[in-house]
Structure 1
Amino acid sequence: MFEVLVYLYHNYYTPQACPAADVLARRLAAAGFEHDDIDDALSWLMGLAQSTETFGEFPLTELSNGQRFYTDEEQQRLGVEAIGLIMFLEEGQALSAPLREILIERAMASQESPVSLETMKIIALLVLWSQEIEVDHLIMEELILGEGDRQTH
């Protein structure tokens, strides 16, 4: 499923550039993705739209200085690395409180437990992409590059 979502991120500048779900499903199938993965990805995106609508009453770009406490279930399902990434994004001012909640909700909707760092990076990219949020270049680099892609100086 996440391969499909990464494909969308790389091939559509904004979510609004994506065609309707039925057309998109045909294009994804033509690109070689399995129907189950396409269905899962489209369902995940619908969940993202619902989460955005739920938190849409709050300013999605207004940063807060509050602290988020994670429930035991969230700590277990997300894991230390994923929570660390969320904290990094908040400290880097890439995530507002509502965006953080959307990110957590979408991560909790994944099948992974705990959510791997790579999966969490993909989810974060998609949440930011879905809101067309501009992110600092260094933070974006952190989300896109894997451990083996970094250059040391």
Structure 2
Amino acid sequence: MFEVLVYLYENYWRPDACPEPKQLSRKLSAVGFEPEEIQDALRWLDGLASSAESVTGQPVPGSMRIYTDAEREVLDETAVGFIAFLESAGVLAAPLREMVIDRAVAAGGGPMALEDLKIIVLMVFWSLGEEPDALVLDELFVDPDDRIIH
């Protein structure tokens, strides 16, 4: 599923630039994606659109986000730390954080790989038609082992 999401990000500027689901499904199939991963990705994107509509509110100063057991099954210490890092850097406002957490839980499975969580963060920005700044893109795309220290 994550490969399909990356393909969509790379090939369509915004969700509204994507063709209708049936046509998009045919295009993705022609590119070589399996029907099951296409359907999983399209279902996940539908949930992303719903999540964008339903997430509201601002954090209360001094408040702390407590993760549920279901969220902790998907988001391990590294993932929670990464989300906290983005939030403390001012990149991920509380409503966006909630979208990221919602979509991570929707992806399911055991502890999520950090690379997959980064794709989810990217897709949340993409769904809103926002381009993260260059430093955020660097954090989302560049492997820390490949970084050059100046």
TM-score if structure 2 supplies the norm length? 0.90
Aligned twin of 1:146: 143
Distance 2:60 2:86 in 1: 13
Question: Structure 2: how far apart are the matches of 1:86 and 1:64?
Answer: 18
Structure 1: runs of 5 or more not aligned = none
1:79 alignment partner, one of 53, 61, 76:
76
In the aligned structure 2, how far is the partner of 1:39 from the partner of 1:73?
A: 24
**Map of 2:66 onto structure 1:** 69
- Pairing 1:2-81 to 2, within 5 Å after superposition: 2-55=2-55, 58=56, 65=61, 66-81=63-78
**Given that residues 74 and 108 in structure 2 are in contact (C-alpha distance below 8 angstroms), is that contact kept between their aligned partners in structure 1?**
no
Aligned mates of 1:90, 1:64 — CA distance in 2: 14
Gaps of at least 5 residues in structure 2 are: none
The amino acid of 1:21's aligned partner reads P
Measured at CA, do residues 138 and 46 of structure 1 come closer, stay the same or move farther in structure 2, by a change above 3 Å?
A: same
Residue 122 of structure 2 is matched in structure 1 by 125
Confirm or deny: 8 A CA contact 1:92 1:139 kept in the other structure. no
Whether the 8 Å contact between 1:63 and 1:95 is mirrored in structure 2 is no
Cα distance, 1:90–1:27 mapped onto 2, change above 3 Å: same
In structure 2, the residue matched to 1:105 is 102
- 1:111–1:36 CA distance, 2 compared to 1 (3 A): same
Provide the C-alpha distance between the structure 2 equivalents of 1:125 and 1:63, rounded to a whole number of angstroms: 22
Q: CA RMSD in A?
A: 1.8
Which of structures 1 and 2 has the larger relative contact order (alpha carbons within 8 angstroms, sep 6+)?
A: 2
Q: Give the TM-score taking structure 1 as reference length.
A: 0.88
User: Percent identity of the aligned residues?
Assistant: 49
Instruction: Supply the distance in 2 between the matched residues of 1:64 and 1:133 (Cα, whole angstroms).
Output: 24
Query: Separation in 2 of the partners of 1:64 and 1:140?
Result: 28
